Structure 1
Amino acid sequence: MLVSAPEPPTLTVVELQRNAEAELARIAPVIDDLGTLFADAGHELALVGGPVRDAMLGRPHADLDFATSARPDDTERILKSWGEATWDMGRDFGTIGCQKGPWTVEVTTYRSEAYDPGSRKPAVDFGDSLEGDLVRRDFTVNAMAVRVPGRVVEDPYGGVVDLAQGLIRTPGTPQDSFSDDPLRMLRAARFAAQLGFTVAPDVVAAMTGMAGRIEIISAERVRDELVKLISAPHPARGLRLLVETGLAAYVLPELPALVLERDEHHRHKDVYEHTLTVLEQSIDLEDRLPDGGPDFVSRFAALMHDVGKPRTRRFLDDGSVTFHHHDVVGAKITRKRMQALRFPKDTTDAVAKLVELHLRFHGYGSGEWTDSAVRRYVRDAGDQLARLHVLTRADCTTRNRAKAERLRRTYDELEARIAVLQEQEELDAIRPDLDGNQIMELLGIPPGREVGEAYRYLLELRLDNGPMSQEDAKVALLEWWRGR
């Protein structure tokens, strides 16, 4: 369980305070100026939340969040006098935004918000004190503030100590916090994944007892938290917490389903543990991707690559176990889950394609594929080829070092063959040696189904034989046309 003693803190309270002083000095032109403007207008202003936490951790911010006693109309007037552009999309929640140079500022009226037991949207009430505003925040490490312009630190719930100890706690009782906003249960796992922190035992207990409350949260908000969790430095830490508390059964049920009951002879590996290992290994390989990492598509494909196994598991008479077609079944399951979570279609298509193709390499053997098979591998992977390389390599979790080294060398060889063919044949843009207009002119046919059939024939010919001259392609097409 993740409720064990916190890891040794990396920073002391004194070091956190020194970091905060340095960061506050860096952003002083913004916070002092705004603090003075609000004070002159008779309002309180305080830097709050993530910028305060990250200032203590030595992480600079250009996006600054403030809380104020001013109502939105007053806030808007002050920000218009200070900034270059303002916006009020969050007005219903008391938030007015502003841009000035490199700084993005959002100022929110002190508030309290709570969920009706059957509602997906919070009811917002404006508050009248900074401490009352802080107590409604998710965790103590996010419930610290710095009053400006005086730069007085407010930490009524012990956030600095928790930050030093690497501990996730709630300002009030976790039951009250999660009743107010059940999404905070996912945020606890997300912060564990982002910061590497331990979640306090009473918070874990509340997450376990209240897991079902997550069902009132919209799919979009759940999706956004999962993306942040999986894109964090330690996603396996957060995912384990979701499984252990039962939250995963509501938001990503395919993950706990991988905890397959192992038979008495241990005839297959622990799919759940294997999956988390593949995820971690894929993260280690992200430097192979064109844009590096964190790469959500690559990570989520690693997480979902074996979700078809529970549905396809079969025990044979000889005592062995099979998971035939779990790649195809898993791709369908993945697509369905991502659609339920309202992922964009292109992201869903990319992840589902990787899940469906993750076993393809195992037909390569020790290099038996022809050039035609290599071309098809590249064609089927399309723009996901680099991610498929990462997933395939990460999927090797055997403890047999000789076998692991053999698989690595074999995939090195396949990638080298792909590189040679790409240079020789422009594999990234495989197309027939004749285009649609040439096909219609040669065969004397109008646009329609027959042009598509001819195009597909030439594409298969291109994949089988590599590039052909246009004359050879015309001869082959006419021969096919006469014999069809």
Structure 2
Amino acid sequence: MTAYPGAVSTPPLAPLLQRATAHLAPVMPLLTELGELFTGAGHEIALVGGPVRDAFLGRESPDIDLTTSASPDETEALLKTWGSATWDMGRAFGTIGARRGATVVEVTTYRADAYEPESRKPVVAFGTSLEEDLVRRDFAVNAMALRLPSMEFVDPYDGLADLAERRLRTPSAPEVSFSDDPLRMMRAARFAAQLGFHVEPSAEAAMRDMADRLSIISAERVRDELTKLLLAPSPRAGLALLVETGLADQVLPELPALKLEVDEHHRHKDVYEHSLTVLEQAIALEGPRTVPGLGAVEPVAAPDLVLRLAALLHDIGKPATRTFETGGGVSFHHHEMVGAKMTRKRLRELRFDKDTVKQVSRLVELHLRFHGYGGGEWTDSAVRRYVTDAGPLLSRLHLLTRSDTTTRNRRKAERLSRTYDDLEARIAKLLAEEELAAVRPELDGNQIAETLGIRPGPVLGRAYKHLLAVRLDQGVIGEDAARAELLRWWSEQPESADV
């Protein structure tokens, strides 16, 4: 193994390797078979990267990543004799996929590629040895391999020592590694969130110095790394690393911008810290949940990307709406509306899908709505509008709103929680009585057109919206009353004179 400053001695390899091999027991027959298949044809093959790291950590790994000396064409030919299906996952990049039953493997030819200074795509070059392939990996903990079928452990860059110290260090000089693939800097933040690892000082320094290099990476790849980070058990650590190194300025500049804004209630050092706390509290509420007086309520599945994005971004409109009030106060009027617009713009630039953009921005727009509830003075009409405006996002809005309470005043926090318990109970009652989840006017479009003697068009749309507002304000009034109200409304419209 290569020595490096600060290296630590790791426990004896034999028991660690035995434990890792035992963790791989469910896939050992497959690994052995593939190993014998490739070596029998004169090629090398090894299990590499995340699956090896996770085996030592005792974690389940969703992937079976293999690397080989065989060319893509040779790999494909061999896998066709082994699996029920093969496909080209990126022949130019050396990767062939194969399936046997429910098992999927990816086999990649040894690589030695890098990015050109201004290119978004790597210049592909195939390597000639396992060690050459491992040195181009992102971190030493991912540059460990198990040769197949012998299960010989290969660790030329002391990844096992790093694993013991929960440290992220690049196999080559960090400046070289991050220049070759700048997305590795974001992976460092993702692993901090997923695994609780810390970045080795020289690598973190390189991240600070090279943050703007991330600009050459496609928005789709950046989005995917950010998504994995947010879905990790502890996103705060990864997000903090992005902000501290300047990477967030390239990826999500609205987040570090929050550090400049003081929360209007002076409960936190800044809105940035408040937002990270809201995110953590939202995560804690994912999954099964009960409400006093209601029992079990509809859960938000864990992890939920829409909820987590909304929690992180809910206050990004504050910098643009900050106003200094007489007497020294600070206000952020309509920051939820501005924030919703900013959220749409940022998520679109990151190439998130339309549904995610729509749902997250809508939650940001609605996140302050509850604060008009006060001590429970809302009418049933207001509660209906709350439910209807939230639509299918209601369960997420419940969690976002509850999470947005970060006061250190225990009595105030308990009062707000009880007040929201009351709102949820009222919502549940109205949902049961009136089926608000599918609220519609009591007359459909055909009935409205027949009653007014009009054809489909903008006027019919306005009439429909009016009856919907009546339904929300008054609840169920019956078709006869709805028709009478429609005719009253129609008598006040200028178009009625033309019919």
TM-score by length of 2: 0.92
CA distance in 1, matches of 2:377, 2:404: 21
Q: Which residue of 1 aligns with 2:177?
A: 177
Q: Given that residues 166 and 197 in structure 2 are in contact (C-alpha distance below 8 angstroms), is that contact kept between their aligned partners in structure 1?
A: yes
> Structure 1 residue runs of 4+, over 6 Å off?
8-15, 265-268
| Secondary structure in structure 2 of the residue aligned to 1:406 | helix
| Secondary structure in structure 1 of the residue aligned to 2:244 | helix
Q: Which residue of 2 aligns with 1:204?
A: 204
Q: Provide Cα deviations, 1:69-118, integer angstroms capped at 9, x if missing partner.
A: 00011100100000010001311100110001221111100011110011
Q: Given that residues 13 and 164 in structure 1 are in contact (C-alpha distance below 8 angstroms), is that contact kept between their aligned partners in structure 2?
A: no
Letter in 2 for 1:404: A
Q: Which residue of 1 aligns with 2:119?
A: 119
The alpha carbon displacement at 1:268 in A equals 7.2
| Secondary structure in structure 1 of the residue aligned to 2:24 | helix
Tell me, yes or no, if structure 1 residue 309 matches structure 2 residue 299. no
Tell me, yes or no, if structure 1 residue 445 matches structure 2 residue 440. no
Q: Which residue of 1 aligns with 2:108?
A: 108
CA distance in 2, matches of 1:269, 1:132: 47
- Aligned equivalent of 1:388, options 394, 397, 419: 397
* Residues 164-313 of structure 1 aligned to structure 2 (within 5 Å): 164-260=164-260, 269-287=269-287, 288=289, 290-313=299-322
Q: Which residue of 1 aligns with 2:497?
A: none
Q: Relative CO higher for 1 or 2, CA cutoff 8 Å, sep ≥ 6? A: 1
CA distance in 1, matches of 2:243, 2:14: 36
Letter in 1 for 2:95: T
| Secondary structure in structure 2 of the residue aligned to 1:428 | helix
- Aligned equivalent of 1:332, options 318, 341, 353: 341
CA distance in 2, matches of 1:408, 1:324: 24
CA distance in 1, matches of 2:47, 2:73: 19
CA distance in 1, matches of 2:308, 2:10: 27
The alpha carbon displacement at 1:11 in A equals 9.8
The sequence identity of aligned pairs, in percent, is 65
Quick one: structure 1 residues 439 and 218, their matched pair in 2 at CA, closer, same or farther if it must change by over 3 Å?
A: same
The alpha carbon displacement at 1:477 in A equals 1.1
CA distance in 2, matches of 1:199, 1:61: 22
Letter in 2 for 1:208: R
Letter in 1 for 2:33: D
CA distance in 2, matches of 1:380, 1:468: 21
| Secondary structure in structure 1 of the residue aligned to 2:98 | strand
Q: How many pairs align?
A: 477
Q: Provide Cα deviations, 1:184-207, integer angstroms capped at 9, x if missing partner.
A: 000000001000111111111000
The alpha carbon displacement at 1:273 in A equals 0.7
CA distance in 1, matches of 2:487, 2:121: 64
Q: Which residue of 2 aligns with 1:3?
A: none
* Residues 19-58 of structure 1 aligned to structure 2 (within 5 Å): 19-58=19-58
CA distance in 1, matches of 2:55, 2:21: 8
The alpha carbon displacement at 1:266 in A equals 6.2
Q: Which residue of 1 aligns with 2:472?
A: 463
CA distance in 2, matches of 1:16, 1:299: 36
CA distance in 1, matches of 2:217, 2:227: 16
Q: Given that residues 267 and 407 in structure 2 are in contact (C-alpha distance below 8 angstroms), is that contact kept between their aligned partners in structure 1?
A: no
Letter in 2 for 1:146: L
Q: Given that residues 139 and 169 in structure 1 are in contact (C-alpha distance below 8 angstroms), is that contact kept between their aligned partners in structure 2?
A: yes
Quick one: structure 1 residues 396 and 12, their matched pair in 2 at CA, closer, same or farther if it must change by over 3 Å?
A: farther
Tell me, yes or no, if structure 1 residue 478 matches structure 2 residue 487. yes
Between stretches 326-335 and 442-451, larger displacement belongs to: 442-451
Unpaired segments ≥5 residues, structure 1: 1-5
User: RMSD of the alignment, in Å?
Assistant: 2.0
Between stretches 388-397 and 99-108, larger displacement belongs to: 99-108
CA distance in 2, matches of 1:172, 1:121: 20
The alpha carbon displacement at 1:365 in A equals 0.3
Quick one: structure 1 residues 272 and 419, their matched pair in 2 at CA, closer, same or farther if it must change by over 3 Å?
A: same
Quick one: structure 1 residues 12 and 362, their matched pair in 2 at CA, closer, same or farther if it must change by over 3 Å?
A: farther
Q: Given that residues 267 and 320 in structure 1 are in contact (C-alpha distance below 8 angstroms), is that contact kept between their aligned partners in structure 2?
A: no
Q: Given that residues 131 and 156 in structure 1 are in contact (C-alpha distance below 8 angstroms), is that contact kept between their aligned partners in structure 2?
A: yes
Quick one: structure 1 residues 313 and 11, their matched pair in 2 at CA, closer, same or farther if it must change by over 3 Å?
A: farther
Q: Given that residues 183 and 214 in structure 2 are in contact (C-alpha distance below 8 angstroms), is that contact kept between their aligned partners in structure 1?
A: yes
Q: Provide Cα deviations, 1:385-415, integer angstroms capped at 9, x if missing partner.
A: 1110000000000000000000000000000
Quick one: structure 1 residues 15 and 417, their matched pair in 2 at CA, closer, same or farther if it must change by over 3 Å?
A: farther
The alpha carbon displacement at 1:61 in A equals 3.9
The alpha carbon displacement at 1:367 in A equals 0.4
CA distance in 2, matches of 1:335, 1:168: 34
Unpaired segments ≥5 residues, structure 2: 1-5, 290-297, 494-499
Q: Which residue of 1 aligns with 2:99?
A: 99
Between stretches 11-20 and 386-395, larger displacement belongs to: 11-20
| Secondary structure in structure 2 of the residue aligned to 1:89 | strand
Quick one: structure 1 residues 76 and 60, their matched pair in 2 at CA, closer, same or farther if it must change by over 3 Å?
A: same
- Aligned equivalent of 1:356, options 358, 362, 365: 365
Q: Given that residues 63 and 103 in structure 1 are in contact (C-alpha distance below 8 angstroms), is that contact kept between their aligned partners in structure 2?
A: no
* Residues 385-464 of structure 1 aligned to structure 2 (within 5 Å): 385-464=394-473
Tell me, yes or no, if structure 1 residue 84 matches structure 2 residue 84. yes
Letter in 2 for 1:215: S
Q: Given that residues 231 and 304 in structure 2 are in contact (C-alpha distance below 8 angstroms), is that contact kept between their aligned partners in structure 1?
A: yes
The alpha carbon displacement at 1:19 in A equals 2.8
Q: Provide Cα deviations, 1:120-143, integer angstroms capped at 9, x if missing partner.
A: 000110110000000000011110
The alpha carbon displacement at 1:57 in A equals 1.5
| Secondary structure in structure 1 of the residue aligned to 2:383 | helix
